[in-house]
Amino acid sequence: MAAPSPHQPAEPDDDSRAQHPVDRRLPALKTATTGLQHVAAMYAGVVAPPLVVGAAIGLTAAELTFLTGACLFTAGLATLLQTIGVWNIGARLPFVNGVTFAGVAPMTAIVASTEDRRDALPVIFGAVIVAGLLGFLAAPFFGKAVRFFPPVVTGTVITLIGISLLPVAFDWAQGPDRTAAGHGSATNLGLAGATLLIVLLLRRFTRGFVKQIAVLLGLVAGTVVAIPFGVTDFGPVADADVIGFPTPFHFGAPQFQAAAIVSLCVVMVVSMTESTADMLALGEIVEKPVDERTIAAGLRADTLGSAISPLFNGFMCSAFAQNVGLVAMTRIRSRYVVATGGGFLVLMGLCPMAASLIAVVPRPVLGGAGVVLFGSVAASGIRTLAGAGLEKDNNMLIVAVSLAVGIIPVTAPEFYHAFPQTARIVLDSGISTGCAAALLLNFVFNHLGGRHAGDAEVTAPMAPNAASPADGMTTAR
């Protein structure tokens, strides 16, 4: 047999040919650099929830640093569990897990309803533990129930997540202290606007890796711009230890309150739905289609990671869609790359000085970046709704009513003021109420009793001369 030409690539060995690209190990340097890229793409998303919740509670800079480090640590553990896997736990795909945005609004509602806000974190941790354990038990059956979570439901919920978080970004943009004289000053709003502009310019005029980490670079640049204005405090970094460990139950033993548990169980359902959709998408991208067994294994990793997180003072974990997009862009499919990224997250969680860097970023700068970050979540939901069949009357009504119900806590915060405090934990979360409304309406209109005339296309909704079913002019499905 002729020797291979020096210009031709060498034939892969039998093991390499038999191995799917998802299961291949890349050279150490490439694994490390691409793993760091995954960390960069998700970092802002991981630290945002503890920042929001910590600010709502009124944590000190040192406590906020601890909480942020704990969330980085637990996100790394959940990612390792998802990519490497143990027994029937873990999808064993290049799948990044981190703190879910879906839990932020319900958690801040729990904070607002807690008489002593120092008890809020133990209540949240108790609810996350229960939701995680229940989700773990439900994982094998969830794949069969996905039909009740079509795009019309998931798109509505994701849109509400973004809408519910945007007021947080606007509040950050005004400054850290509502009682301070400079709250909402031109300086603070100018810093927020400058950060937003920097992020937009980076997204518009850069490519590849730099474009992927535009939000992170915007935070750095905005912090530098803020230094001359005297609003940047480097004290948290100076006071932080180089090495530390997230002490179990640092903020107190978990407390179990029914209303908080119900609220975060709803969030768990939403997170499991998002993770299922991300697994299906990722399976297509890496050319390794997932089945019900893979979905169940992936959801076990999500939910077990969430149940373990409160032990180390972390929040609920779920899939990060931006990293699915990164896999599609780079075409690097090895799960060991993402596992390496998980390892970096664990190391960052064990280094309080690294976690404290986010505490240096002035609140207005975070607000400017938050507009992009949270707005992108809402835009992602709108994109999902674009493929949800809104030309049908049924789906149009489901979205219209569910969005209206979910936006109530955002636009009218005192709407449920006459209800018991425990009920308000659920009602004051637009995500929880909007998701419940979307599920119920989808079941009534699209499942209960078969399909009816409501399936007709909406040719001109709200038009005064639009034909009604009674006119016999409704277009049949």
Exposure letters 214-247 (e unless 16+ CB within 10 A, then b): bbbbbbbbbbebbeeeebbeeebbeebeeebebe
Residue 200's contacts (CB-CB under 8 Å, 6 or more residues apart) are 372
Residue 296's contacts (CB-CB under 8 Å, 6 or more residues apart) are 88, 139, 140, 142, 143
Residue-level pLDDT at 398: 93
Residue-level pLDDT at 299: 92
Residue-level pLDDT at 455: 54
In 3D, which of 363, 42, 355 has the Cα closest to residue 215? Answer: 42
Residue-level pLDDT at 210: 77
Cα–Cα distances (Å) from 240 to 194, 235, 355, in that order, read 29, 9, 9
Residue 132's contacts (CB-CB under 8 Å, 6 or more residues apart) are 268, 303, 304, 305, 306, 307, 308, 309, 316
DSSP assignment string, 33-87: HHHHHHHHHHHHHHHHHHHHHHHHHT--HHHHHHHHHHHHHHHHHHHHHHHT-BT
Residue-level pLDDT at 133: 95
Residue-level pLDDT at 446: 87
Residue-level pLDDT at 127: 93
The two tokens of residue 143 are 């794949």
Residue-level pLDDT at 456: 53
Cα–Cα distances (Å) from 75 to 33, 47, 182, 341, in that order, read 19, 10, 36, 10
What is the Cα–Cα distance from 91 to 233, expressed in whole angstroms?
A: 42
Residue-level pLDDT at 421: 67
In 3D, which of 22, 62, 60 has the Cα closest to residue 339? Answer: 22
The two tokens of residue 321 are 């869609």
The answer to whether the CB of 231 falls within 8 A of the CB of 185 is no
What is the Cα–Cα distance from 358 to 172, expressed in whole angstroms?
A: 14
Cα dihedral 270, 271, 276, 279 sign: positive
In 3D, which of 132, 139, 138 has the Cα closest to residue 308? Answer: 132
Query: What are the 10-residue block averages of pLDDT along the chain, 477 residues in total?
Result: 44 54 83 77 78 86 85 91 89 86 82 82 94 92 75 83 82 78 83 92 83 77 89 73 81 89 86 76 75 87 92 88 66 86 88 72 84 80 85 89 92 86 72 84 83 48 41 36
Residue-level pLDDT at 137: 93
The two tokens of residue 133 are 């354990």
DSSP assignment string, 407-464: HHHHH-TTTTTTS-HHHHHHHT-HHHHHHHHHHHHHHHHHTTTS--GGGSB-SSTT-T
Residue-level pLDDT at 425: 66
In 3D, which of 71, 62, 60, 72 has the Cα closest to residue 176? Answer: 60
The two tokens of residue 443 are 């079941």
Secondary element (H or E) of residue 278: helix 258-285
The most distant pair of C-alpha atoms in the chain lies apart, rounded to whole Å, by 86
What is the Cα–Cα distance from 36 to 15, expressed in whole angstroms?
A: 27
Residue-level pLDDT at 329: 60
- Distance separating the N- and C-terminal Cα atoms of the chain: 63
